[in-house]
Structure 1
């Protein structure tokens, strides 16, 4: 087996200039905790709406270091993990409104990148949801039926040969094309950070938030300074558990990926994949694959473990057994690429909540706001979420502030997770249950 680089591939595609940390006490209109997609889009949309606002972002590392820059780069219309549960809870119309809002974000991210000259390697290629067994074919049928109920254009399930003509994997038995795009998530996050700085937003890197002190004007406290603001927005994704109101609302689930060396022309010629669509297997714990801009193959999947004690440490990247399983899955899909060399093997944490859907809202008197819970499907949803948090921050009653994402009294906050060791055992039981359900879809 190769000696892999346990470094996020995307992080090697662009150099980073670190902004100065917070070293003083400052006062502003809005302080955003977290410089990932949610925080950056919120700052961007707030500046678009109210250019005079003084906005400060405190970030533990630098924009793109966390989940935003480690994502697999699929920009999809996904709302959490279980759209059928949202339809059941909120009704078809409200689920449709949320889905359409996130769907529009796919296109708007592309427009943003072009308008602001952000080299996010945006490719509007769609993605192919593929089935590799009879249960997954049934799931495709369920998804197609739900899409049609929600008013989408009639989705067609492609049979085996037509599917393999799109992506030439012998494992694929059927597929359904879904609208979406591919991006380099790190370059996108760095690009948004540049744009908001140009609009006058101050970003403090290497400034992890120690606590938020509530009050008429809450205070964000870091090791080096403090920010007092009219409004504070908590946008720390999987790290929301650092704040007492969310301590047991979110858990960190690890996901893993591998990225190959650039494929040669001879290797590329062995597989039909002219459209460069993303590939996603139709199951709960996803397997996915895509080309990078430089014709590397990114393949992700395998185990999605929860490590005891909410362990988010970088040492969890070094998990040889995980990468062996991912490589076996890769060869199941693409046995003709047995000579493809993988050079990057890495992981990161996704924020998972009990109802598998995003949550936005206000705490206490409404001057502390929050957004989290994307469950690993956040690139488009964070863009929509930035608009939600813009309107909640400005106190505006809009279509975005009324989306089903918002904990507004009509929607209950997610149920709490139990503490360890019950959580540790339960997380593994849920993974096994999902596999069992997928086999019986």
Structure 2
């Protein structure tokens, strides 16, 4: 029997000093609801543009507690689960612009960590999209063809079995394609970003959930201990956007899980070729991914991405023995030579899934703005999203406010998710359908 710690490994790599909760009635220029990456980057870019702005962030727990601090740490240029659908809707040029914007964010996050002395364990070492069967190889080929269609940088080459295994020595890998990206410690990035934002003058109220938002000439955010009235409000709460009426049927929380090992010995590391320490991602919808941490722990994640009835996001879902058994079986398929590795941590978190699998930013009117829908690919995209929300809040027509992420008259809105029990039944059916389609691709 595995003796896992069902706590998020990343959250044990740095201590947390909570900021005081709101216990008063106050006013400010901008109130941001949600202290994860989206809210923090928005505050950071707003302060850079307008240092005099009085900005407050209300966070239900603390920055890095939610999805931002539970991520696998892959900073990728991903702008949605289905880039082909975005090309069909918006055209190749607009899809390329969005992809390039998120790609720049990967580099800019690295510069941010160096400039502000944020020890986020940033490693600009790319990642490898790998195929383990013919269907996945065809997906790599389709992705490369799409990259050629989009133009921009030279398209990546598909590595043969021997070439791919010389990069990451897994016998399961049949082919691979190198993609630009970076690895980070997601929790340290969130905590470091929160520290920088506070140094800019933004006030963060931890342990301060938003109970409701009251629109008006000036919008008021109501919390258990106080109220904040602001000229502008930004809603950036990831899966918890469902708490606000306009988004109630636009986002659902799915759970993703990971195993984290104890530090590997030199002898264990020598068994597998992995000199470049690239991240590894399997080319399928319910992906498997793996990476090494700074202290040479192996993180192995993926497998099922379940939706629990009623959108259950309670922490008890971290203790799901069957899920971890499946992840461990996948791990042994990829790395049978590491059968003696001990996994000390088994944990999970929620990703905000939207119907069209792409982020959404926009304005509800009366100075209320929003950003959500990263579908588990938010480390770089939230950085780009912070610039989008900055320009929406400031009312600027810019290259960011015109990105395809922004909800306007040109963007077709997906149908809402159905209520329960149809949502639960439909989510299970869609999962099975995707697995069947990928097996036959």
How far apart are the structure 2 equivalents of 1:280 and 1:440? Answer: 20
After superposing on structure 2, the runs of 4+ consecutive aligned residues of structure 1 that deviate more than 3 Å are none
How far apart are the structure 2 equivalents of 1:295 and 1:282? Answer: 24
**Deviations for 1:38-74, whole angstroms, at most 9, x for unmatched residues?**
0000000000000000000000000000000000000
User: By how many angstroms is 1:210 displaced?
Assistant: 0.2
How far apart are the structure 1 equivalents of 2:169 and 2:317? Answer: 33
**Match in the other structure for 2:133:** 133
How far apart are the structure 2 equivalents of 1:62 and 1:412? Answer: 35
Counterpart contact for 1:130–1:280, Cα < 8 Å: yes
How far apart are the structure 1 equivalents of 2:68 and 2:105? Answer: 16
**Match in the other structure for 2:414:** 414
User: By how many angstroms is 1:414 displaced?
Assistant: 3.3
Counterpart contact for 1:21–1:206, Cα < 8 Å: yes
**Deviations for 1:161-195, whole angstroms, at most 9, x for unmatched residues?**
01000000000000000000000000000000000
User: By how many angstroms is 1:80 displaced?
Assistant: 1.8
**Match in the other structure for 1:249:** 250
**Map 1:109-258 → 2, pairs under 5 A:** 109-151=109-151, 152-258=153-259
Q: How many residues are matched?
A: 440
**Match in the other structure for 1:16:** 16
**Match in the other structure for 1:79:** 79
Counterpart contact for 1:259–1:342, Cα < 8 Å: yes
User: By how many angstroms is 1:150 displaced?
Assistant: 1.1
How far apart are the structure 2 equivalents of 1:218 and 1:29? Answer: 10
How far apart are the structure 2 equivalents of 1:433 and 1:191? Answer: 41
**Map 1:331-410 → 2, pairs under 5 A:** 331-365=332-366, 367-410=367-410
User: By how many angstroms is 1:408 displaced?
Assistant: 1.4
Counterpart contact for 1:359–1:413, Cα < 8 Å: no
How far apart are the structure 1 equivalents of 2:190 and 2:217? Answer: 32
Q: Which runs of 5+ in 1 are unaligned?
A: none
User: By how many angstroms is 1:413 displaced?
Assistant: 3.3
**Deviations for 1:83-106, whole angstroms, at most 9, x for unmatched residues?**
000001100000000000000000
How far apart are the structure 2 equivalents of 1:103 and 1:81? Answer: 16
2:291 aligned counterpart, secondary structure: strand
User: By how many angstroms is 1:440 displaced?
Assistant: 2.3
How far apart are the structure 1 equivalents of 2:203 and 2:286? Answer: 38
Does 1:37 pair with 2:34?
Answer: no
**Deviations for 1:200-255, whole angstroms, at most 9, x for unmatched residues?**
00000000000000011000000000000000000001100000000010000000
How far apart are the structure 2 equivalents of 1:216 and 1:407? Answer: 23
User: By how many angstroms is 1:368 displaced?
Assistant: 0.2
How far apart are the structure 2 equivalents of 1:414 and 1:256? Answer: 27
2:286 aligned counterpart, secondary structure: coil
- Root-mean-square deviation (CA), in Å? 0.6
2:285 aligned counterpart, secondary structure: coil
Counterpart contact for 1:80–1:376, Cα < 8 Å: no
Counterpart contact for 1:148–1:155, Cα < 8 Å: no
How far apart are the structure 1 equivalents of 2:323 and 2:93? Answer: 41
2:46 aligned counterpart, secondary structure: helix
**Match in the other structure for 1:436:** 436
- Per mean C-alpha deviation after superposition, the further-off stretch among 82-91 and 409-418 is 409-418
How far apart are the structure 2 equivalents of 1:44 and 1:315? Answer: 33
How far apart are the structure 2 equivalents of 1:22 and 1:278? Answer: 40
How far apart are the structure 1 equivalents of 2:181 and 2:431? Answer: 27
How far apart are the structure 2 equivalents of 1:204 and 1:414? Answer: 34
**Deviations for 1:317-361, whole angstroms, at most 9, x for unmatched residues?**
000000000000000000000000000000000000000000000
User: By how many angstroms is 1:155 displaced?
Assistant: 1.3
1:251 aligned counterpart, secondary structure: strand
1:26 aligned counterpart, secondary structure: strand
How far apart are the structure 2 equivalents of 1:117 and 1:408? Answer: 38
How far apart are the structure 2 equivalents of 1:2 and 1:430? Answer: 31
How far apart are the structure 2 equivalents of 1:216 and 1:360? Answer: 22
How far apart are the structure 2 equivalents of 1:26 and 1:119? Answer: 34
How far apart are the structure 2 equivalents of 1:217 and 1:23? Answer: 20
When the two structures are superposed, what TM-score results if normalisation uses the length of structure 2? 0.99
